[in-house]
Amino acid sequence: MAEHEEHIDEMSSHLAPAGPAILAPGHTFATITDKISAVVLSRDTPAAWLLATGGFGLLMMWLLFATAYQLARGIGIWGVNIPVAWGFAIVNFVWWIGIGHAGTLISAILLLLKQKWRNSINRFAEAMTLFAVMCAGYYPVMHLGRPWLAYWLFPYPNTMGVWPQFRSALVWDVFAVSTYFTVSLIFWYQGLIPDLATLRDRSQSKAGRIIYGILAMGWRGSARHWKRYDSSYRLLAGLATPLVVSVHTVVSFDFAIAVVPGWHTSIFPPYFVAGAIYSGFAMVLVLAIPIRRIYGLDDFITTKHLDNCAKLMLATGEIVAYGYIIESFMAWYSGNLYERYMILDRMGGKYSIFYICLISINVFFVQVLWIRRIRRSPALLFLVSVIVLAAMWLERFVIVVQSLHADFLPSSWAMYYPTFWDITQFLGTIGLFAFGMLMFIRFLPMISIFEIRELLPEAHVSLQEVD
Amino acid sequence: MRELPIWGLMAEFTSAADLAIATRRAREAGYRRMDAYSPFGIEAVTEELGFHRTKVPLVCLIGGIFGGLAGFFLQYWIHVLNYPQNIGGRPLNSWVAFIVVTFECTILGASVSALLGMLALNGLPQPYHPVFNVPRFAFASKDRFFLAIQAEDPKFDIHDTFRFLEGLGARDVQEIPN
C-alpha cells in the first residue's frame, strides 16, 4: 500500500506577511470553535447587550407606534407635500439600502477576490445588510400612502385586470430590492448552515439542540456535501456581485430617469454605488468596533480588519468626491439654465449649510484616513465612521430635497421641513436595525466559525503523488 | 437489500492531513462506499474520494436561464399581449426598459436554484443519519476528522476493516449502529 509516497505540504503561514495578522496567533480549530460559539451558547449575557437591547428595543417600539399612528392618519403626518413629495422617506430609503451594500461587497466580491481577511467580518456584515434592507424597505411601502395595498406592486393575476407598469423605475426598484433581500438571505443562510451544525453539537440545552438542529437541516460535514456547498457558495458570490452593483444603480434610476434638475445625470449610477459602499463600510466599522470590544473578539477582528475597511472607505470616498465634482462640472458644462441654477442654489441657497457640511466631510475630512494611526485606532475610526454616516445621510437629503424644492416653475417652489414623526420614525428604524443586530449577535454565530478555521495553516492540505 | 447489523465503521483522526492520507489508503485498498467528515471543506479529501464534479453549477445555470426567460416574457406578455397600451405610438415591446427586471429575475432564479440545488443534491434536510449515532461524531463540527466505511461496501469485513482503519493511525475506531 505504501508504494506511493505522500508529500504533505501544509502551506506555511503566508497569510500574514507583515504587520498585524488577520487572526491572532495561538489558535486551533477547537479554540476558534469554542470562543465564537461561546458568545451564543453562554448563559451569561453581557450587561452592555442588555442595556443596548433595552434602549434600541424602546426605539423599535416607538417605530411600531409611529407606524400604527401613520396607518391611522396617513402620510400627512410627514412633512412631505408638493413640490417636495419625497422627503425623509426616500432619503432614509436610499441611506439604509446603501448601508447594506458593504455587507454584500465583503461577503461576495471579497470572496471572489480571495481576500481572506473577509472571513472574520462577512457574517455580521451580511446580517447588517439584511436588517438595513428591512429598514430601507419600510419607507417606500409606507410612502405608498396605502401600504396595505403594497402587493399591487407585484404582477399577480387580479380581478381588476391590470398589471404593474414595467417601464417605470419604481417597479424596477421593487424587483431590485426584493431580489437583493432574497439573495442576501440565501447567501447568509447558506453560510450559516455548517455553523448551525456546530451549535447543534455544542448546545447544552434541549431547546438549543432542537432549534439549531432544525436550522442546520442535518448537516454532517460530509466531504461530498462540502464540495457541493463550496460550489454553490461561490456561485452565489458570483451572482451577488453584479446584483449589488445593480441595486443601487436601480435606486439611482429612480432619480436619473426623471427630468428634475439635479437628478437627471448619467453619473448617478456609479456615484450611488460608490456612496453606498462608502457608507456601508462606515456602518461595518460602527458595528465591529464595539462588538470586538464587548465580546473580546480582537483575536478575530484585528486592527488589520479595521485598517482594511478604512482603506476601502477612503477609496470609495474618493469616487464619491469625484461624483460631486462631475455633478457640478456637468451643471456648468451642459449650459442648461435649470441645472446651473440648481447647483448654485445647492451651494448658496437655503439648504446650502447641508451641502457645505457634506462636502467638507466627504471630500476633505475623510482624507484623515490616509493617516495610518487613525486607521488603526478603534476609537478614532469609530468617530470618523459615525461622521461619515451622517454626511452620507446629508448627501441623500440634499439630492432628494434640495433638487425638488426648486424645480422648473418658481411659482411652485417651497421649503421642506421634517415633522416630529419624520425624525422619530427615522430614529425608530435605527432602533429596529440595532435590535435586529443585537438579536443576531445573541442567537447566531456573528463570526463565521468554519471560515475562520480555514484561516489556520493546518486547514490546507495537498497530497502530491510521486511515482 | 439484506439488513446489515451495523451501518459501518468510523475512524477518527486529529488532523486534516491524516484524514486525507487515510482516505487515499482506503481508496487504494479498494473501498468505495465511504465518506469523510470534517469541520470545513478539504479539497484533497474530496479528490481522494473520487468525487470530482458536482451538478450544482448546471442546476444554477438552468435556474438562471429559466428566471431570465420568465422575467422577460412576463413583461412581454403583459405589455404586448395581455394589456397593450399605445402611448404616443411607442413600441409595445420596449425591451430596453425590460432589462432591469429580466436581470433581477435571472439572478433570483439562479440563486434560489443554487441553494436548493445544493441542498437537494446533498439530500438535505435529512432528519436522521446513522453517523450521528456515534457520540464522538459531535466533534466533526469542531476539530476532528472522520472517515466512515459503510458495511454495504463489497470489501467490508467487520474485523479486517476495523484493523485496516486502526492501521491508518486513527485515534479511535468505532462501530456505527444502524
User: Which CATH number belongs to the domain containing residue A419 in this structure?
Assistant: 1.20.1630.10
**Closest-approach residue (CA) in chain B for A201:** B138
- The pLDDT assigned to A466 comes to 39
CA distance A236 to B64: 12
Residues whose CB falls within 8 Å of the CB of residue A337, separated by 6 or more in sequence, listed in order: none
In terms of CA atoms, which chain B residue is nearest residue A229?
B118
Work out the minimum CA distance from A102 to partner chain B, whole angstroms: 19
Question: Is B2 a residue whose pLDDT tops 80?
Answer: no
- Residues making up chain A, counted from first to last: 467
Integer Cα distance of B175 and B6 in angstroms: 7
Distance CA A407, CA A342 (A): 8
- For strands B6-13 and B172-177, give the pairing: antiparallel
**Residue B128 near chain A (CB below 8 Å):** yes
What does the pLDDT profile of chain A (467 residues) look like in tens digits?
A: 344 444 444 444 444 444 568 888 888 888 888 888 888 888 888 899 999 999 999 999 999 999 999 999 999 999 999 899 999 999 999 999 999 988 888 888 888 888 888 888 899 999 999 999 999 999 999 999 899 999 999 999 999 988 999 999 989 999 999 999 999 999 999 999 999 999 999 888 899 899 999 999 999 999 999 999 999 999 999 999 999 999 999 999 999 999 999 899 899 999 999 999 999 999 999 999 999 998 888 888 989 999 999 999 999 999 999 999 999 999 999 999 999 999 999 999 999 999 999 999 999 999 999 999 999 999 999 999 999 999 999 999 999 999 999 989 999 999 999 999 999 999 999 999 999 999 999 999 999 999 988 888 888 887 765 33
Q: What is the reported pLDDT for A77?
A: 94
Q: Which of A4, A162, A194 sits opposite B83 (nearest CB)?
A: A162
Q: Round the average pLDDT of chain B to a whole number and report it.
A: 90
Residue A276: which of A191, A388, A418, A363 has the closest Cα?
A388
Put simply, the answer to whether B16 touches A458 (Cβ < 8 Å) is yes
Q: Show residues of chain B in contact with A257, CB under 8 Å.
A: none
pLDDT of residue A1: 38
Tell me which residue in A1, A8, A30 faces B25 most closely, judged by beta carbons: A1
Delimit the domains of chain B by residue range. Answer: 6-53+126-177, 56-121
CB within 8 Å: A461 and B141: no
Judged by CB atoms closer than 8 Å, whether chains meet at B142 and A463 is answered as no
Average pLDDT in the B40-65 region?
A: 91
pLDDT at B135 over 60: yes
What range defines the domain where residue A296 resides? 5-466
Q: Give the separation between CA A235 and CA A249, rounded to whole angstroms.
A: 22
CB-closest option in B16, B57, B128 to A235: B57
Mutation to test the A interface, candidates B87, B101, B128, B132, most A Cβ within 10 Å? B101
SS3 A155: coil
- Assess whether pLDDT exceeds 60 at residue B1: no
Tell if the CB–CB gap between B78 and A202 is shorter than 8 Å: no
CA distance A60 to chain B (A): 30
User: In angstroms, what is the C-alpha Rg of chain A?
Assistant: 24
CA distance B1 to chain A (A): 24
Per-residue cell: B2: 439484506
CA distance, residue A244 to nearest chain B CA (Å): 11
Cell of B68: 431570465
Total structural domains within chain A:
1
Q: Does B80 touch chain A (CB under 8 A)?
A: no
Distance from C-alpha of B122 to C-alpha of B113, rounded to nearest angstrom: 13
Task: Report A:441-460 residues touching B (Cβ under 8 A).
Answer: 450-451, 453-454, 458-459
State how far the Cα of A231 lies from the Cα of B51, in Å rounded to an integer. Answer: 13
| CA-to-CA dists, residue A178 to A151, A458, B124, angstroms | 12, 41, 26
Do A179 and B115 count as a contact with CB atoms less than 8 A apart? no
Band of pLDDT at residue B147, cut at 50, 70 and 90 = very high
* Contact in structure between A1 and B30 (CB atoms under 8 Å): no
Residue B54 neighbours by CB distance under 10 Å: 20
Rounded (5°) CA angle A203-A208-A209: 70
Closest CA to B48 of B129, B124, B145: B145
Looking at residue A178, its pLDDT comes to: 94
Residue A416, φ and ψ in degrees, nearest 5: -115, 130
First to last CA, chain A: 13
Q: Which of residues 129-168 of A touch B (CB under 8 A)?
A: 155, 161-164, 166-167
Interface of A with B in 26-45 (CB under 8 A): 28-30, 33
Where helices occur in chain B by DSSP H, the ranges are 16-28, 43-48, 56-76, 95-121, 158-166
The answer to whether the Cβ–Cβ distance between B79 and A167 falls below 8 Å is yes
For residue A155 the three cell numbers come to 404582477
> What distance in Å separates the CA atoms of residue B155 and residue B33, rounded to the nearest whole number?
9
Interface touch A194/B37, C-beta < 8 Å: no
Could you tell me which chain A residue has the CA closest to the CA of B131? A220
Give the Cα separation of B157 and B164 in Å (integer): 10
Could B38 and A190 be called an inter-chain contact, meaning their C-beta atoms sit closer than 8 Å? Answer: no
Query: Is the ipTM above a cut-off of 0.90?
Result: yes
Long-range Cβ contact pairs of B160-169 (< 8 A, separation 24 or more) = B161/B9, B161/B31, B162/B9, B164/B26, B164/B29, B165/B9, B165/B11, B165/B22, B165/B26, B166/B11, B168/B11, B168/B13, B168/B18, B168/B21, B168/B22, B168/B25, B168/B26, B169/B13, B169/B18, B169/B21, B169/B22
Q: B-contacting residues of A 183-202, CB under 8 Å?
A: 183, 186-187, 189-190, 194, 197-198, 200-202
B35–A226 C-beta distance less than 8 A:
no
Q: Has residue B110 got a pLDDT over 80?
A: yes
**Which of A65-69, A306-310, B1-5, B40-44 has the least mean pLDDT?**
B1-5
Q: What is the pLDDT of residue A20?
A: 66
User: How many Å from the N-terminal Cα to the C-terminal Cα in chain B?
Assistant: 14
Closest CA to B2 of B129, B128, B156: B156
* B137 interaction partners in chain A (CB closer than 8 Å): 220
